Amino acid sequence: MKEEIINIIADTLELPKNHINEKTNLIKDLELESLDIVELINAFEMQYGIEILDQDIKNLQTVEDIIKYIENKNV
């Protein structure tokens, strides 16, 4: 799942995959803005058939946070 999520981030934001790993912080490392975050959330929701609640988004700081969140949603 890790590689798939990294691929979604890289493809959605048109970033090189080698700049993204589990510890990558979306805001500090990738300098994402709110519109980028919305795009990513939509991509994850479409890919995994889940709903990411607005109040949960602020807790998704790193790639690892996203992986854990999606794994828990798919249980």
Instruction: Look up residue 19 and give its DSSP letter.
Output: G
Instruction: Quote the CA–CA distance of 52 and 73 in Å, as a whole number.
Output: 9
pTM above 0.85, yes or no: yes
Q: What is the pLDDT of residues 10-32, one digit of tens each?
A: 999 999 999 999 999 999 999 99
Domain boundaries, the chain: 2-73
Confidence of residue 75 (pLDDT cuts 50, 70, 90): low
- Span 2-73: which CATH code? 1.10.1200.10
Sequence-separated (6 or more) residues with CB below 8 Å from residue 24: 30, 62, 63
Phi, psi for 51 (deg, rounded to 5)? -115, 125
Please give the structure tokens belonging to residue 9. 């981030």
Q: What is the pLDDT of residues 20-72, one digit of tens each?
A: 999 999 999 999 999 999 999 999 999 999 999 999 999 999 999 999 999 99
- In 1-75, beta strands by DSSP E: none
CA angle 18, 46, 9 (to 5 degrees): 15
